[in-house]
Amino acid sequence: MSERPTLVSSSKTFGGSQLRLRHRSQVLHCEMTYSVFLPPQSLAGARVPALYWLSGLSSTDENFMQKAGAQRVAAELGIAIVASDTSPRGDGVPSDPGGGWDLGLGAGFYVNATREPWARNYRMYDYVVDELPALVEEEHSLSDSRGISGHSMGGHGALVCALRNPGRYRSLSAFSPISNPMRCPWGEKAFSHYLGSDRKDWHEWDASELLSGASERLPILVDQGGADPFLETQLHPEALRAAAERAGHPLTLRMQPGYDHSYFFIATFIEDHLRHHAKALVR
């Protein structure tokens, strides 16, 4: 178990509390921050369910909380929102030697790295699946009823975390996920550094590959902007759709004409996603 977190900031919103906290991660071997919205039901003593949000490349735990406008509906539904950072950080944590933004700091890709110099710190999968939920469920008295969602690299992470852990999450969704990272430039760069050059080792971190062997049929909601500049080169939602059709896996993939990759897009459809999760999380 990680040591107890320290409070960085706190604000009241929609009758609940928006918190940012810092703790020492035993998994990542560095200081980490996370953000959590606690709805008014939680402040009144209820153990509420939580939606875990994973953000995209170059983001932090704050982007979603400040830009998505999710707190109003989460407060109505009685759902906490937990947002992790997107990578380990701090002195001694390696980053892209070429100075890029799509590897290293801000770009952990929610995998467990096996290659040096990444293996010690870059275990974001273990962090978001195990360490962070154990910490926040104890610290903030949340229930173990969990949903997971994310955007872009975080959408990839949400899909992989749920598909690899049947029974751990009750609901799943994504915005503009990197659906087939084995076959896009962002994923190929990250996987070759974190996991090595043997592409067979990449399959267990690719949602379009994992769907074929998924033992749980957790319904997936995906929204994808039709004007997203990364749609054809990086995201490949058609691969996810084809994999779901082959596996008979329930997938609702909504192409949204005119919308891009930004948080304006996420803010437009976040209420639909929160209500999708509430159907499974709120009893």
Catalytically active residues are 152, 228, 261
- As a whole number of Å, the CA-based R_g of the chain is 17
- Which strand ranges, in their side-by-side order, compose the sheet holding 80-84? 6-13, 16-25, 30-38, 80-84, 50-54, 146-150, 171-175, 220-225, 251-256
Are 208 and 159 spatial neighbours (Cβ–Cβ below 8 Å)?
no
Query: What is the rounded distance in angstroms from the CA atom of residue 85 to the CA atom of residue 52?
Result: 11
Burial grade of 257 (CB within 10 A; 0-12, 13-18, 19 or more) = exposed
Alpha helices (H) in 18-131, listed in sequence order: 40-43, 62-67, 71-77, 124-126
Are 128 and 115 spatial neighbours (Cβ–Cβ below 8 Å)?
no
Nearest to 106 by CA among 128, 130, 122, 126: 122
Give φ, ψ of 252 to 5 degrees.
-110, 105
Query: What is the rounded distance in angstroms from the CA atom of residue 53 to the CA atom of residue 152?
Result: 11
* Bridge pairing between strands 50-54 and 251-256: unpaired
**H-run or E-run covering 137:** helix 132-139
